[in-house]
A and B are shown apart, each in its own frame.
Chain A
Amino acid sequence: MIYLTRKAEFSASHYYHNPAFTPEENQRLFGKCNNPNGHGHNYTLEVTVKGEVDPRSGFVVDLKQLKEIMKREVLDAMDHRFLNKEVPEFFTRIPTTENLAIAVWQRLERKLQQAHLHRVRVYETPDLFVDFYGEE
């Protein structure tokens, strides 16, 4: 088994708000992140796939294909977008880094054929990242 990681970057805005909570609860829980006008981050995405090395190509996955899938499924949908308003997963779920990692996993998993998804890591800032390994 060998693991390969591909990085990508995207920039997006978001805010944290749960309509089931009162404005006071939202403010207490989410603080500055509750501002409805949103705020932005430069996100770094790391996608790790695993598999056996193909004896003919020497690859675990066709990197070009992985790059294209990441671009089509994630970057085109999320780069320079307001996550709450433009990405369907976040019409009902709060776009925390946790939920973002899960959404990226779900978008990629159904498109990857050759290699298995091992981990999705999303950096919100250099000081904060979330890992998702699929449902356990």
Chain B
Amino acid sequence: MKTHLTRRYLFSASHRLHSAEMSAEENLANYGKCNNPHGHGHNYFLEVTVSGQVDPGTGMICNLVDLDRCVEKEVLARYNLENLNALEEFSVTVPTTENLCIQIFETLHQSFPHAHLERVRLEETMMNSFEYAGGHEGQH
């Protein structure tokens, strides 16, 4: 039977929201405090949801150890305690949490073969969070 499993992770990173396509005034108007040239940081909570049939032998969709290992290697090791703007994927793209969420989804979609990646949800603060399900509306 198909079930959805969600695992929650934490990483901390800094970023600055600034678009090279906008003037200094436009950047400030759009991004406000987030445009501070020295950057600022967040504790990001990441939720990764996978789905699949429950294996009758193991009772699991996939082994949590494999999921943890993949997220650790592909996401946490790359982003934890880093300045996002200094990373290749954000050299042009603005490291908003929307774009980070999409990037993490695409990375995990390619690197986790053991279950279907349903959704990535990223909390930037307690007050705001972003979800990406791969460019199509989630079923639920």
Q: Is the CB of A131 within 8 A of B3?
A: yes
Docked-complex contact A99 and B54, CB < 8 angstroms: yes
| Neighbouring A residues of B54 by C-beta, 8 Å | 96, 98-99, 102
- Say whether B140 contacts A119, CB under 8 Å: yes
List which A81-135 residues lie within 8 A (CB) of chain B.
93-99, 101-102, 119, 126-133, 135
> Which has the most chain B C-beta neighbours within 10 Å: A95, A98, A131, A133?
A98
Tell which of A101, A128, A131, A135 touches B8, judged by Cβ atoms closer than 8 Å: A128
Q: State whether A131 touches B6 (Cβ < 8 A).
A: yes
Do B58 and A131 touch (CB < 8 A)? no
* B4 & A16 in contact (Cβ 8 Å cutoff): no
Question: Judging by beta carbons under 8 Å apart, are A98 and B3 in contact?
Answer: yes
Q: A99 to chain B: which residues have CB within 8 Å?
A: 54, 59
Interface membership of B107, Cβ < 8 A = no
| Residue A2 CB within 8 A of the other chain | no
Structural contact, A136 and B6, CB atoms closer than 8 A: no
The interface residues of chain B, by DSSP majority, are classed as mixed
Nearest residue in A to B56 (C-beta to C-beta)? A93
In Å, the complex CA distance between A133 and B51 comes to: 11
- In the complex formed, the residue of B with least CB distance to A29 is B58
Query: Is A18 interfacial (CB-CB < 8 Å)?
Result: yes
Shortest CB–CB separation between residue B55 and chain A, in angstroms?
9
CA distance A94 to B58 in the complex (A): 7
- CB-nearest residue of chain B relative to A129? B6
Within 8 A of B (CB), among A16-58: 16, 18, 20-21, 29-31
Q: What are the residues of chain A within 8 A of B8 when measuring CB–CB?
A: 126-128
Interface residues of B in 1-55 (CB under 8 A from A): 1-9, 49, 54
**Do A98 and B63 touch across chains, with their CB atoms under 8 A apart?**
no
Q: Smallest Cβ distance from B123 to chain A, in angstroms?
A: 13
CB-defined A-B contacts under 8 Å, sample of 25: A16-B58, A18-B58, A29-B63, A30-B58, A93-B59, A94-B58, A95-B59, A96-B54, A96-B59, A98-B5, A98-B54, A98-B60, A101-B3, A102-B1, A119-B140, A126-B8, A128-B7, A130-B3, A130-B4, A131-B5, A131-B6, A132-B1, A132-B3, A135-B1, A135-B2
Beyond the given pairs A95-B59, A131-B49, 13 more chain A to chain B contacts, judged by CB atoms under 8 angstroms and listed by A's residue number, are A16-B59, A29-B63, A96-B60, A98-B59, A98-B61, A102-B3, A127-B7, A128-B7, A129-B5, A130-B4, A130-B5, A132-B4, A136-B2
List residues of A whose CB falls within 8 A of some B CB: 16, 18, 20-21, 29-31, 93-99, 101-102, 119, 126-133, 135-136
